[in-house]
A and B are shown apart, each in its own frame.
Chain A
Amino acid sequence: MHNPCGVFNRTYEEDLAIFRTKTQWAILFGSIALALAAPVFLGNYVVGILIQIFATVIVLHGLNILTGYCGQISLAQAAFAAVGAYTSALLSQWALESALPEWFPSVFNFWLTVPIAGLTAGAIGVLFGIPALRLRGFYLVMATLAAHFIIMHVIIRTIGTESRSLPAPHIAGLVLNSPKSYYYVALVALIVLTYFAKNLVRTRFGRAWIAIRDNDLAAEVMGISLFRYKLSAFFIGCLFAGLGGALWAHYTRSITHEFYLLNYGLWYLGYIIVGGMGTTVGPFFGASFLIVLTEVLANALMAFSGSVTGTLVFTTRDMLFGLVVVLFMIYEPRGLAHRWNLFKAYYRLFPYAH
């Protein structure tokens, strides 16, 4: 926590506060008000992109905790998002088709299946996190790569390759099936989960994860149980992946295994690298920057040459993504969050350079 000059913490409450200055409160309320009002003056297309960014940020919070805070690099985040999405899809379908009483589907709906989907993804994440107890670095990367292929293989073999449809959530008699109504579900989930993620890394768990990231042997010598904290990082990381995946699936209302290719797992890692690992704002920066950039590029391509096929757009997106990641690794390995901090320092000291 770097507070501006002249802000002193005089009580424990002040020391613990996330928002400390008037500017921070103003930014918080301003951005929440802006986010709440956004669907009023934006079209469905832009709102759809915002929902995509929100769902991605939720998945990224998990990966950020796992990789950015605990140092366990995972390529399997897309597979865990798939676990969440498919769990919610199957549970909703089961509730609708089972021979249970009439009232059952109306209780056992979106609001229950999505949390269950998150917990399922978390449990499977713990299962595949077990190798992390013995492995680190590249060997762990390989274990998560294998986890991705094994999970996706099981999904394809047991559930099939045809697309699955999901119901839209209901609340108080309203069906949230339009982008603008679903937007508020995603927004509330994002705010709650961001608050959860931010506070989690400030607790005993967060400090233990950071210690493990910095040096796991030293952490173990200090009395931090690697078993407990590495597996808890996997649980939380995959829980967020499952929640984000299920939220996104209930928005698109139809999922296939092609939404969860290995490339998307790599993209997630790219997002937090570009955004800045080990910071809570990193996922926001990374997801907004890259998603907006690729959308703008796709639209520009469509506009310049009328007959652009979907595959060319995907290829160009991949190319752009690769290029952005490579350039960020060379010129700004600490990501946009670091730039944001530099900007804040500059702003506070303006007009003096130092």
Chain B
Amino acid sequence: MIVETVIYGLVVGAVYGVVALGFVLIYKSSSVLNLAQGALLMLGGFICLQISQWLPGGVWFFILAVLITLVIATLLGFGIERLALRPLIGEPLISIIMMTIGLNVLLGSIGYAIWGSGNFPYPTDIIPIGSVSILDTPISYKYIFSLIIALLCLLLFTLFFQFTRSGIGMRATADDQLAAQSLGISTSVIFRNAWAIGCITAAIGGIIIGFLIGLNSYNTPVLGLKVLPVVLLGGLDSIPGAIIAGLIVGVTENLAGAYLDPIFGGGMRDLFPYILIMIILMVKPYGLFGWVRIERI
């Protein structure tokens, strides 16, 4: 049981890592805390499902649907940045938090209005049904597949930040906006791209969750809130931190669900990340890899 729990935790944790990456990226480049990640997750998953239902079945058409979803997510990111966040540059933190909360409620209820409250499993003919045996524990292909996709995304984004011009520009903007601007980096383009990547990571997370447990317009956004413990544990401004913390939160919450539920009578899996938040905030408020900022008057 423990092997299965840990592996399932790793899969879920990798998804958290991918979504947290988008969160950290937006925070790093524009210091906006995107609490709308949950709704974006749900919308991404639903849009992909909807498009794949319009297209004929089959693996290749599904991949096409995923690509179309990513394009839509990019446009959504551009739109949100331009319409909602650009007017708030220079406003206090609560305005930005409230704006993203408002966006979360708005986008979430739009999803709810379109797709209703049912459960939407993804088509089962994309990933073959079956399992491989790891340490005498059968692990379903879809877990393996999801883990591979998530890790691939993490690898791709890491490479993007290390080697591409745009990625380095983003890290420069994150480090010091003024200095980056004086070296010819357009910060508005960087903000736009950061939001696009934030939406893309959320859509990928939504698609993987669709494969793993199916979509639900009520539960999926709640799942998106789990990204907050992840980014706090990893440090708000650390990309490797987001990935490692994603895995830690995924594994610990599943272990808590498996071993603490019988003691406390259920619900621990969903609660544990928040208990973790309290502990992290008390002990190490800047997370594992976050920068400790020295406050000055």
User: Which DSSP category, helix, strand, loop or mixed, fits chain B's interface?
Assistant: helix
Please tell me if the beta carbons of A153 and B278 are within 8 angstroms of each other in the complex.
no
With A73-B93, A319-B113 in contact, do A325 and B101 touch (Cβ < 8 Å)?
A: yes
B19 → A minimal CB distance (Å): 16
> Which of A145, A147, A319, A323 has a CB less than 8 Å from the CB of B228?
A145
Interface segment out of the listed A133-141, A203-211, A344-352: A133-141
A325 to B84, CA, bound (A): 11
- How many A residues have CB within 8 A of the partner chain? 44
**Residue A322 interfacial (CB < 8 Å):** yes
A108 to B187, CA, bound (A): 63
**Residue A311 interfacial (CB < 8 Å):** yes
Q: Which residues of B contact A322 (CB under 8 A)?
A: 102-109
A149 to B88, CA, bound (A): 29
**Residue A326 interfacial (CB < 8 Å):** yes
**Residue A263 interfacial (CB < 8 Å):** yes
Please tell me if the beta carbons of A323 and B98 are within 8 angstroms of each other in the complex.
no
Q: Which residues of A contact B93 (CB under 8 A)?
A: 73, 137-138
With A139-B285, A142-B277, A146-B275 in contact, do A217 and B103 touch (Cβ < 8 Å)?
A: no
Q: Which residues of A contact B225 (CB under 8 A)?
A: 145
**Residue B55 interfacial (CB < 8 Å):** no
Q: Which residues of B contact A143 (CB under 8 A)?
A: 277-278, 281
With A157-B265, A322-B105, A326-B84 in contact, do A135 and B281 touch (Cβ < 8 Å)?
A: yes
> Which of A67, A134, A139, A277 has a CB less than 8 Å from the CB of B232?
A139
Interface segment out of the listed A22-30, A83-91, A180-188, A266-274: A266-274
A272 → B minimal CB distance (Å): 10
Please tell me if the beta carbons of A325 and B99 are within 8 angstroms of each other in the complex.
yes
> Which of A131, A141, A145, A316 has a CB less than 8 Å from the CB of B274?
A145
A135 to B286, CA, bound (A): 10
With A73-B97, A329-B98, A329-B99 in contact, do A316 and B87 touch (Cβ < 8 Å)?
A: no
Please tell me if the beta carbons of A263 and B105 are within 8 angstroms of each other in the complex.
yes
**Residue B282 interfacial (CB < 8 Å):** yes
**Residue B79 interfacial (CB < 8 Å):** no
**Residue B209 interfacial (CB < 8 Å):** no
A318 → B minimal CB distance (Å): 4
A302 to B295, CA, bound (A): 54
Q: Which residues of A contact B265 (CB under 8 A)?
A: 157
> Which of B94, B101, B228 has a CB less than 8 Å from the CB of A142?
B228
Over the window 145-163 of chain A, the binary record of Cβ atoms lying under 8 Å from chain B Cβ atoms (1 yes, 0 no) is 1110110010011000000
Q: Which residues of B contact A324 (CB under 8 A)?
A: 102
Please tell me if the beta carbons of B97 and A141 are within 8 angstroms of each other in the complex.
yes
**Residue B207 interfacial (CB < 8 Å):** no
Which residues of A come within 8 Å of B, CB atoms? 67, 73, 131, 134-135, 137-139, 141-143, 145-147, 149-150, 153, 156-157, 215, 217-218, 221, 263, 266, 269-270, 273, 277, 311-312, 315-316, 318-319, 321-326, 329-330, 333
25 contacts between A and B (CB under 8 A): A73-B93, A131-B278, A134-B282, A134-B285, A138-B93, A139-B285, A141-B97, A145-B225, A145-B228, A149-B274, A153-B267, A157-B264, A266-B101, A266-B105, A270-B102, A277-B94, A315-B113, A316-B113, A318-B108, A321-B105, A322-B104, A324-B102, A325-B98, A329-B87, A330-B84
